[in-house]
Amino acid sequence: MAIFVNEQTKVVVQGLTGRQGSYYGLRNRAYGTQVVAGTNPQKAGADVEGIPIFASVADAVQATGANASFVIVPAAVAADAILEAAEAGVPFIVCVTEHIPMHTQAAVFNRLKRDFPHTRLLGPNCSGILSPGKCNIGFTPAEVSMPGPVGIVSRSGTLAYQSIFELTQKGIGQSTCVGIGGDPVPGTNFIDCLAAFEADPETKGVIMIGEIGGAEEERAADFIQHEMTKPVVAYIAGVTAPPGKRMGHAGAIISGSKGTAKAKMEALEKAGARVALNPTQLGDLMQEALAG
């Protein structure tokens, strides 16, 4: 099985007529994802290599039965795009757009929670989601993946790709790889994904990749300790990051003694997770964990 998406997922790409949207939308379709529609109010009735363009997400859903949205539009209109998909009844929205202001992210998060509690947002500023052999929405390079029993959840897209490759090199496949993004207000967090992997009977182990900043990894550690029965292998990026300096992602900043890699690693080890000291160890540690 897979979490959140599978071979039945039908995707509408909000931004398909743009340069990046068409590139990744067509790349996802080439992998086998059911990319059934795009949206652009000015280009309704046109198509992108056979994918029909609709004036709105609501029109696309009505015509194609789309049940997932891929938001790849500029930051200035991304929040409106997310809410448009939610208002159209789309239950799963992937937003890869970066540079959305934090207060805007918070407003969207709270609006979804209040008015659209059955809609899940992945992102923003995330790499997307890949269920090998079933569905790919976003940037994840499916060429290095293979179907199998390990779930991956990561704040970093690049490190997620590396972990996929490390596993595949060892002949260990993946059930789903979820990039939750590195912004301060993620629509889907570590615990959401850990709970879904715990409930998935075909996922036998989980790799969790965090980074400095915030307290999500410590919260995840508490969940791992009390709720997870499956082995978890973790890595925290940013061991050498100086306090008070943002490192890459908007959420990757240490404030005082909080949010440090050391504190997160200690919390995860205490919770029973195997903690890698560098990303190249992830495959080895997961192989050991699956072997019992």
Residue positions annotated with a catalytic role? 249
Whether the CB-CB separation of 247 and 182 falls below 8 Å is answered with no
Instruction: Kindly provide the b/e burial profile for residues 51-89, where b requires at least 16 CB atoms within 10 angstroms of the residue's own CB.
Output: bbbbebbbbbbeebebbbbbbbbeeeebbebbbbbbebe
Sheet holding 120-122, edge to edge: 47-48, 51-54, 34-39, 10-14, 68-71, 92-95, 120-122
| Identity at 269, one-letter amino acid code | E
Burial class (CB in 10 A: 0-12, 13-18, 19+), 287: middle
Sign for the pseudo-dihedral over CA of 280, 142, 122, 7? negative
Q: Where are the beta strands (DSSP E) in 55-112?
A: 68-71, 92-95
